[in-house]
Amino acid sequence: MRPDGRQTNELRDMQIIPGWNKHAEGSVLIEVGDTRVLCTATVEDRVPPFMKGQGRGWVTAEYAMLPRATGTRNQREAAKGKLGGRTMEIQRLIGRALRSVVDLAALGERSVTLDCDVLQADGGTRTTSITGAFVAMALAMQKLVDNGQLKKLPITDYLASVSVGIVNGQPVLDLNYAEDSQAKVDMNVVMTGNGAFVEVQGTGEEAPFTRDELNALLALAEEGIGQMIAKQKAVLGSVGDRIEEAATYASRS
């Protein structure tokens, strides 16, 4: 039995509120259990220096936690004067994951920046950020289509992410903070709508894990991500239909 009464293969409640920020080209407030992240997508007509002149776009992400997103207050990284290793690792992960489902050539020389700000944390902030940022990105790119700046959505498939881990010897899906702090093995998985893996990051610092345990964790992740993508589709409506077509087409080829 899990602390909040969930089954081992049960996700927490998930809510995605689109358009929560009036300025951003795309935005969502995503809540997974008590984890609450504001994801905004900003479109700019320029790319970073290393991408210039290639006719291709770029997708990148930044991640931060408000100081009191957690049980005790954390000092702001702006006040410390530098980004911590954890922050950098997470924002690199989010950016990499999102780029895996974007056709950067089709995007053209534009950049999309996903800002994922954790307003309240209860485990799974990086996976929740990816799941929410995908929707914010899709909304922002759809605006480029609506404005006539792009012919079609440069997204090749859905994308969502969840954490899995071994807690009390049991593989479980979507760990909250209490579970995360006592997990022996901790794994973050990012998958596409077609069921392929984009990232698998498993760590057994507390206790190395076997091939069988790895397989059990991947199975849980697959199941959870499928449900998350269904909710993304519900929020995206007609925008989502076009992603689905692209993904179906891609999976056939």
Annotated binding site: 86, 124-126
Among 155, 222, 233, 232, smallest CA distance to 189 is for 222
Which of 2, 16, 27, 142 forms a contact with a second copy (CB under 8 A)? Answer: 27
Query: Contact between 96 and a second copy (CB under 8 A)?
Result: yes
Which of 180, 199, 223, 244 touches a second copy by CB under 8 A?
199
Identity of residue 24: A
Q: Contact region for a second copy (CB under 8 A) — 1-9, 11-19, 161-169, 200-208?
A: 200-208
Is 17 a binder of a second copy (CB under 8 A)? no
Residue 168 falls in which region: left (phi positive, over 0), alpha (psi -120 to 50) or beta: left
| CB nearer to a second copy: pick between 14 and 101 | 101
Q: Is residue 197 close enough to count as binding a second copy by CB under 8 A?
A: yes
CA distances from 244 to 151, 163, 167, 249 (A): 17, 24, 35, 8
Q: Is the dihedral of CA 231, 212, 181, 40 positive or negative?
A: negative
Token duo for residue 190: 């990012």
Per rule CB under 8 A, count of chain residues that contact a second copy? 67
Category of 113 on φ-ψ map: left (φ > 0), alpha (ψ -120 to 50) or beta: beta
* Residues of this chain that bind a second copy (CB under 8 A): 21-24, 27, 34, 38, 40, 42, 44, 62, 64, 66-71, 73, 76-89, 91-92, 96-97, 99-100, 113, 115, 117, 119-120, 157, 187, 191-192, 194, 196-211, 214, 218
